[in-house]
Structure 1
């Protein structure tokens, strides 16, 4: 909305409005007449002293204030973005990541962002949200995606075995067969992790009977803590519950290396620098904050989580 109109509304005096605007009174009068021709009605009642807004003028003034506020917010947003700060960042985190990561991540991102929205979900759902524009960046399991996304390496972690502490050692495939006979297997259903685990057990010709099927990592871990079964999980997905339970023991998964990688992803041309920083932040938080807790009780985990030496990005 033209600033002449707003200034006249605020002063209700064309002479004073002209003085504030640094233009002539005739220029102010001309702009008001042009506006009245546009709306096909009077916006000021010039018969009163001081002049006043007509009903149409009141409605137009309220609308003009909203437009002016929107423009001010827009210019402020542009200035912040030019300075390298994002007004609102929407991030997706794969549900296998520990909740303990979130406060560290929001704190680290806070210096670059005014407002943060974090959504957790399965990687296929996060991928769909990226492509639809519901989120700006996501930290998720790496796959050959059918969508055109740019990804930055975050880390690689192994699948491990979690069992009640009372069961004892699980160090070989024969031990794995034994536990699958003696205790129910807790399936983690949904997403890539559940599919990876099922496929790997089939390759080993291990077919645990159907008993428990859960879609939440903490529910899986709490069920193990209750002594009701065992599961295949990852160090990070085990973290939240395992840190507070002495009834769970983590074991290396017997046999060949079995792992997955996490990446930070974004659509080409959008939020690239922030996605790259998210990957770096996640690496740093896990390396300095979470991994020491994991290795304090299970030192063998120290070498199993792999952090890229020279992180790079690629389009998939």
Structure 2
């Protein structure tokens, strides 16, 4: 009888799909954006991706060996963390930046809290925010075809200038390695939805709430170009489909996922419209990660067979 019970940390698998299968599917879904990023930004982008992945995997292996814990590098979670971190970095950063970020993501955010399933926020995004705070200049310098410039969101916020929607959709713009091509990211997102790796619930609620916030507070009303520029520019699509949906740091209750998406949309809107930075997705997601226990507490369904008290 005891063999039928296995007490473990989340994520709890209720089908034959394993954690490594899920991680591998997300990695595959990120391949279009990764390949486009290398095509767009060249060799340094490729080296950043390889360095970030290798450092994450090596950090996890080394820590678990030193702590005499089971080695879990085979579940692809460290690989995925390294890839996500790299896609959130400018192609101009020196290689020691992804090294520092990867060690922080794996050791500080993931392993010190117990490993996969017990980290309290998305490791890749936590590392990106850490790098933004520590090395703001390097993390906000973008170059395309040898020319430095501002991202579309920065141009929109500072001067009101908009970039061609075609360029935003295709990806011929300034930005981090993995966030520029909306079509590449959407191809990966569709793959995850079709494979039922993620639900559309969080991304749809997130994006819908954010657009409503823009209409009300953006100062442009129902300006399609303005709305689509915010939707396609920056890390919104990457964050909504690939990081806000992280199993460990998002709510498991259906109502909680909707609440989570709404709060994400509101905070992203606040950071983008009223904040000092033109972006805001990373900070919005890790802040909402901290709210997940509270969201789950207030949205937990009534246990089957138990009624509510009546007056």
Q: TM-score, normalised by structure 2?
A: 0.25
- Larger strand proportion, structure 1 or 2? 1
Greater fraction of residues in helix: 2
| Larger radius of gyration between Structure 1 and Structure 2 | 1
Higher RCO (C-alpha under 8 Å, 6+ residues apart) = 1
What is the TM-score with the length of structure 1 in the denominator? Answer: 0.25
